[in-house]
A and B are shown apart, each in its own frame.
Chain A
């Protein structure tokens, strides 16, 4: 309970300060939280079609883009990580591709896929695959020699080697990559919705801004924050369960 209080007092305090300042300043650019909340209520709860037509599709795109990137990243990463030959060939290409800022590719994907879901998915997938891929490569390489030898001596089948040894050994690194990718997916989802579409949280943000409806704009921003926080918390919960086998260090046990 005290930990809960500790964690949220600063946050709550800031909201209160903002509320008071917002009342005092009466600046249309910075509405107080109470107005933002009521705008959010009107926008998404009173008119639920706004939620189902804009927010839900955005979340679906974010999650499917992230899932596709994760599957590609993990499978390719484990493959490259266990083969020095493949890494020698693919290494420079990976570094080059990773260095391209994904938003710069939005126009290219617009040409390739036209505006719409496939272009948005392509942007997200291309942007977030790298943290997963590179972390998986790292993780796959970190399987220690004794475990490699043990597996070889027992002549385990190939699937067991990949799923039963390499994947679990790499999983702490993979989860670190997945977390970075998830936050990045949110960013790229918004960016991919800023152009060429009138659907999604990003496009609604742009529209609110164009119509000088700053309260709604803020409501959208708050929604993105809540979304990011919720997704990250959910992933952390999954990670904690999946990596429960890790020997805990002493400090963590006390935390």
Chain B
């Protein structure tokens, strides 16, 4: 499989605060890669350097495709209240002829199940629906790479599950390459083909893990799958690097207990 994104020795420093300390990884075409790391470690900064919003102080980002799209956590601010849902989805397509623009927007709205809401204003929709509009807008742009920064962190648990499944479905149907930043370990395992685990600031790559789960995921069965539980524990352990040893031991004991509960004997 060809590489869609190559990041080589990427580093970024704000003033004298080193946010990212030399990251190298690749994302292959069609892959869904999750980035997890402790809060404030530099995950958003990483996405901003990849998307070109910030130019990194060192290292290289090379994208093998013409353009990328970003879905931000703050959907209510990312959508334009003066445009209808349809207008928002058409927003990045202004250079296309009108008919094609319309068609692409309608198609993308159908993918996320919002065809009926095309004429509404984004603020008339629920949070989950608004984030679906943002996803539709990104998909309508047909990006070589879709970046998502904690896309489901501001919705309730139920909606979150629905949106996770929606993301898995559309990216499978349309063969999109996705890089998702999240601070939720379960989410990273559930969504990802691969997981990049980052350390606390400055962000460094701790592990690059393949997810040994079938492509087809299910909110109930996948989350209790042995492979899922084992990988989640592994990521959790990796993220605890640098915490006081007391905590690690307590946490490990709890983890062993929960493991014996969930794994059928």
Do the beta carbons of B81 and A150 come within 8 Å of each other? no
Question: For residue B121, which residues in chain A have a CB less than 8 angstroms away from its CB?
Answer: 245, 247
B212 at the interface (CB under 8 A from A): no
A107 smallest CB distance to B (angstroms): 44
Query: How far, in angstroms, from A144 to B91 measured CA to CA in the complex?
Result: 17
Q: List 29 A-B contacts (CB under 8 A).
A: A144-B77, A145-B77, A146-B77, A147-B77, A147-B78, A149-B70, A149-B72, A149-B78, A150-B70, A150-B72, A152-B52, A152-B53, A153-B51, A153-B70, A154-B69, A154-B91, A154-B141, A155-B67, A156-B91, A156-B92, A156-B94, A157-B94, A157-B95, A164-B94, A245-B81, A245-B82, A245-B83, A247-B81, A247-B123
Query: How far, in angstroms, from A150 to B149 measured CA to CA in the complex?
Result: 12
Do the beta carbons of A160 and B94 come within 8 Å of each other? yes
Question: For residue A59, which residues in chain B have a CB less than 8 angstroms away from its CB?
Answer: none
| Interface membership of chain A positions 130-163, coded 1 if the CB is closer than 8 angstroms to chain B and 0 otherwise | 0000000000000011110110111111001000
A99 at the interface (CB under 8 A from B): no
Q: Contacts A153-B70, A155-B67, A247-B123 given: A146-B91 contact, CB under 8 Å?
A: no
Question: For residue B95, which residues in chain A have a CB less than 8 angstroms away from its CB?
Answer: 157
B80 at the interface (CB under 8 A from A): yes
Interface of chain B: mostly helix, strand, loop or mixed? loop
Question: For residue B165, which residues in chain A have a CB less than 8 angstroms away from its CB?
Answer: none
| Interface membership of chain B positions 40-56, coded 1 if the CB is closer than 8 angstroms to chain A and 0 otherwise | 00000000100111000
Of chain A, the residue at the smallest CB distance from B121 is A245
Contact of A153 among B53, B82, B83, B123 (CB under 8 A): B53
Contact of B92 among A149, A154, A246 (CB under 8 A): A154
Question: For residue A247, which residues in chain B have a CB less than 8 angstroms away from its CB?
Answer: 81, 121, 123
B8 smallest CB distance to A (angstroms): 22
Number of A-B residue pairs, CB cutoff 8 Å, is 52
A168 at the interface (CB under 8 A from B): yes
B255 at the interface (CB under 8 A from A): no
Interfacial residues, chain A to chain B (CB-CB below 8 A): 144-147, 149-150, 152-157, 160, 164-165, 168-169, 171, 245-247
Query: How far, in angstroms, from A160 to B94 measured CA to CA in the complex?
Result: 8
B74 at the interface (CB under 8 A from A): yes
A188 smallest CB distance to B (angstroms): 32
Contact of B80 among A145, A152, A165, A246 (CB under 8 A): A165
Question: For residue B69, which residues in chain A have a CB less than 8 angstroms away from its CB?
Answer: 153-154
Do the beta carbons of B81 and A149 come within 8 Å of each other? no
Question: For residue A154, which residues in chain B have a CB less than 8 angstroms away from its CB?
Answer: 69, 91-92, 141
Question: For residue A144, which residues in chain B have a CB less than 8 angstroms away from its CB?
Answer: 77
Known contacts A153-B51, A157-B94, A164-B94; 9 additional CB pairs below 8 A are A145-B77, A147-B78, A149-B53, A150-B70, A152-B52, A153-B52, A153-B70, A154-B141, A246-B81
Query: How far, in angstroms, from A169 to B83 measured CA to CA in the complex?
Result: 11
